[in-house]
Chain A
Amino acid sequence: MKYSVFSLLRNSLSGHKHWTPAWRNPEPRKDYDIIIVGGGGHGLSTAYYLAKEHKLTNVAVLEKGWLGSGNIGRNTTIIRSNYMLPGNNPFYEWSMKLWEGLEQDFNFNAMVSQRGVLNLFHTDPQRDAFARRGNAMRIDGVDAELLDREAVREMVPFLDFDNARFPVKGGLLQRRGGTVRHDAVAWGYARGADSRGVDIIQNCEVTGMRIENGRVKGVETSKGYIGCRKLGLAAAGNSSEVAAMAGMKLPIESHVLQAFVSEGLKPYIDQVVTFGAGHFYVSQSDKGGLVFGGDLDGYNSYARRGNLPMVEHVIEAGVAMIPGLARVRVLRSWGGIMDMSMDGSPIIDKTHIEGLYLNTGWCYGGFKATPASGWCFAHTIAKNEPHKLNAAYRLDRFRRGYMIDEKGQGATPNLH
């Protein structure tokens, strides 16, 4: 069924009794051409683009929980393409372009809202660094504007402009950045993939891999053995666990990142505002809750929940940036497990095992990359070679010395 204003009217008139499920819930077949491990944003978008761009539909997505139960439903919904380094920027800008056409493309309302992403700066050197980043973005055709203090004041007058430690001197604005309803991204891709024939199999955990003579044969799962010719791993925080089934050790550590939402407020913050110096960023959801977060807790974790010191730190930073938040009540906080890579950049690549492909290392920036990640991973799997957009995201770049270290932190996953 194609969703449109007409289908909505028709179903309204018949009392909403005839909507069909958005996707099937099939039992796995014995064998597929391609299996994707992980039914999150990246796994589902990979399946969608395999079917749509490459006409490969004998595909299954295996998800150990329910569809979209991982980071695609646990992030803070921000999209942006404000990267600086070659290798990153064309990729993330392609992702932004896919976001801009996504809802028409997969016929699902993902509430893509290009409300602008504003990064604040507080010192002259930081202004220089931001100007440099903005220039790098514009060289790659990405929009960027350097705002002075008064222009920022006009946009977000409620900041503490004269904060003693971090007075606001201006900001770098990407107007095309914004937010997207994260769950709808998973649902839209799932529906689009399913309607083209992809089997999405939920509650099906991969427990082992069968590899013979350096070639992938299939996977052992909680629903039995399933054969395949090609196997794509998109397991995010569990990447190391899944890759270990193929005997691989990855340049990845799993870390917990917390996020928060406040009680619903009247419209207050129109943009995404980031206060990088204090480790805080915020936007306001369409329901009115302020969605905000900060940095990693900083220690290896698979727990999907963090500890109180980081909760305190994020809230302190938030109140320092927007004193008016002091009396807002926090409704919920939660954690997600990030696949932190050694240079802060992702990996979309083939592996030394024939038929095994790897998509991991998204750190805490995976959501905005969902469309391009799936698009590039689908290309890599279908053609058995990376697209030029993900050509820099090779697994062997650490050995060869071609790191893409946007933050300049070196091999310290918890600092990226």
Chain B
Amino acid sequence: MLIKCPHCGSRPSEEFTYLGDASVKRPGSTDPSTMDQWFDYVYLRDNRKGRMHEYWHHSGGCRSWLVVDRDTLTHEIFGSMTARDWAKRQGAGS
């Protein structure tokens, strides 16, 4: 797999470290009443078969956190952006 890093261009996947699903949302509160949200955030996953957005760290390159749009069934990569841009986009959407 070749992942397109916005800073470094198209680079082989072994330069990157995988974190996982970028759609999970960290709860904004630590209040005990938000336990269920925390449980969901830490443990539960959609585990999508098909396209998903996921965090990759360019640990062997520019060390940026990226969000990559990838198909888990075919390994095809459709695009990527910095995690900062992803967060802005998520913020705008909510």
Binding site for B on A (CB under 8 A): 238, 240-241, 249-254, 298-303, 307, 309, 342, 398-399, 411, 413-414
Binding site for A on B (CB under 8 A): 1, 12-14, 17-18, 20-21, 39-40, 42-49, 52, 54, 70, 72-75
Nearest A-chain residue to B39, judged by Cβ: A399
Interface centre among A251, A252, A298, A300, by most B CB within 10 Å?
A300
Docked-complex contact A302 and B49, CB < 8 angstroms:
yes
How many angstroms from the CA of A231 to the CA of B45 in the assembled complex?
A: 23
How many angstroms from the CA of A398 to the CA of B14 in the assembled complex?
A: 31
Chain B residues with CB under 8 A of A413: 20
Docked-complex contact B75 and A249, CB < 8 angstroms:
no
How many angstroms from the CA of A298 to the CA of B18 in the assembled complex?
A: 7
Docked-complex contact A300 and B72, CB < 8 angstroms:
yes
Docked-complex contact A250 and B13, CB < 8 angstroms:
no
Chain A residues with CB under 8 A of B13: 299, 307, 309
How many angstroms from the CA of A252 to the CA of B20 in the assembled complex?
A: 12
9 contacting pairs across A/B (C-beta < 8 A) = A240-B47, A254-B49, A299-B54, A299-B72, A300-B54, A302-B49, A303-B75, A309-B12, A399-B39
How many angstroms from the CA of A309 to the CA of B42 in the assembled complex?
A: 29
Docked-complex contact B74 and A303, CB < 8 angstroms:
yes
Chain B residues with CB under 8 A of A301: 72-73, 75
Report B16 CB to chain A, min CB distance, Å. Answer: 9
How many angstroms from the CA of A97 to the CA of B91 in the assembled complex?
A: 55
Chain B residues with CB under 8 A of A307: 1, 13, 75
How many angstroms from the CA of A414 to the CA of B47 in the assembled complex?
A: 13
B17, B44, B45, B73: the one contacting A303 at CB < 8 Å is B73
A238, A249, A298, A342: the one contacting B46 at CB < 8 Å is A249
Docked-complex contact B73 and A240, CB < 8 angstroms:
no
A253, A298, A309: the one contacting B47 at CB < 8 Å is A253
A238, A300, A398, A411: the one contacting B21 at CB < 8 Å is A300
The dominant DSSP class at the B interface is mixed
How many angstroms from the CA of A307 to the CA of B3 in the assembled complex?
A: 13
How many angstroms from the CA of A251 to the CA of B42 in the assembled complex?
A: 9
Chain A residues with CB under 8 A of B14: 309
The dominant DSSP class at the A interface is mixed
Docked-complex contact B75 and A250, CB < 8 angstroms:
no
Report B78 CB to chain A, min CB distance, Å. Answer: 15
Nearest A-chain residue to B68, judged by Cβ: A299
How many angstroms from the CA of A348 to the CA of B6 in the assembled complex?
A: 44
Nearest A-chain residue to B17, judged by Cβ: A298
How many angstroms from the CA of A108 to the CA of B4 in the assembled complex?
A: 52
Docked-complex contact A411 and B49, CB < 8 angstroms:
no
How many angstroms from the CA of A342 to the CA of B13 in the assembled complex?
A: 24
B42, B47, B74, B75: the one contacting A254 at CB < 8 Å is B47
Report A257 CB to chain B, min CB distance, Å. Answer: 14
Nearest A-chain residue to B16, judged by Cβ: A299
Docked-complex contact B43 and A302, CB < 8 angstroms:
no
Given A300-B20, A303-B75, 19 more A-B residue pairs with CB atoms under 8 Å apart are A240-B49, A249-B44, A250-B44, A250-B45, A253-B47, A254-B72, A298-B18, A299-B13, A299-B54, A299-B70, A300-B47, A300-B72, A301-B72, A302-B72, A302-B73, A303-B72, A307-B1, A411-B42, A413-B20
Interface centre among A241, A253, A299, A413, by most B CB within 10 Å?
A299
How many angstroms from the CA of A253 to the CA of B54 in the assembled complex?
A: 13
How many angstroms from the CA of A238 to the CA of B47 in the assembled complex?
A: 9
Interface centre among A298, A302, A309, A414, by most B CB within 10 Å?
A302
Report A129 CB to chain B, min CB distance, Å. Answer: 25
How many angstroms from the CA of A251 to the CA of B1 in the assembled complex?
A: 26
Report B76 CB to chain A, min CB distance, Å. Answer: 10
Docked-complex contact A398 and B43, CB < 8 angstroms:
yes
Nearest B-chain residue to A309, judged by Cβ: B14
Docked-complex contact A253 and B20, CB < 8 angstroms:
yes
Chain A residues with CB under 8 A of B54: 299-300
How many angstroms from the CA of A369 to the CA of B72 in the assembled complex?
A: 27
Chain B residues with CB under 8 A of A411: 42-43
How many angstroms from the CA of A299 to the CA of B56 in the assembled complex?
A: 9
Docked-complex contact B49 and A241, CB < 8 angstroms:
yes
Chain B residues with CB under 8 A of A414: 18, 20
Nearest B-chain residue to A312, judged by Cβ: B14
How many angstroms from the CA of A240 to the CA of B21 in the assembled complex?
A: 14
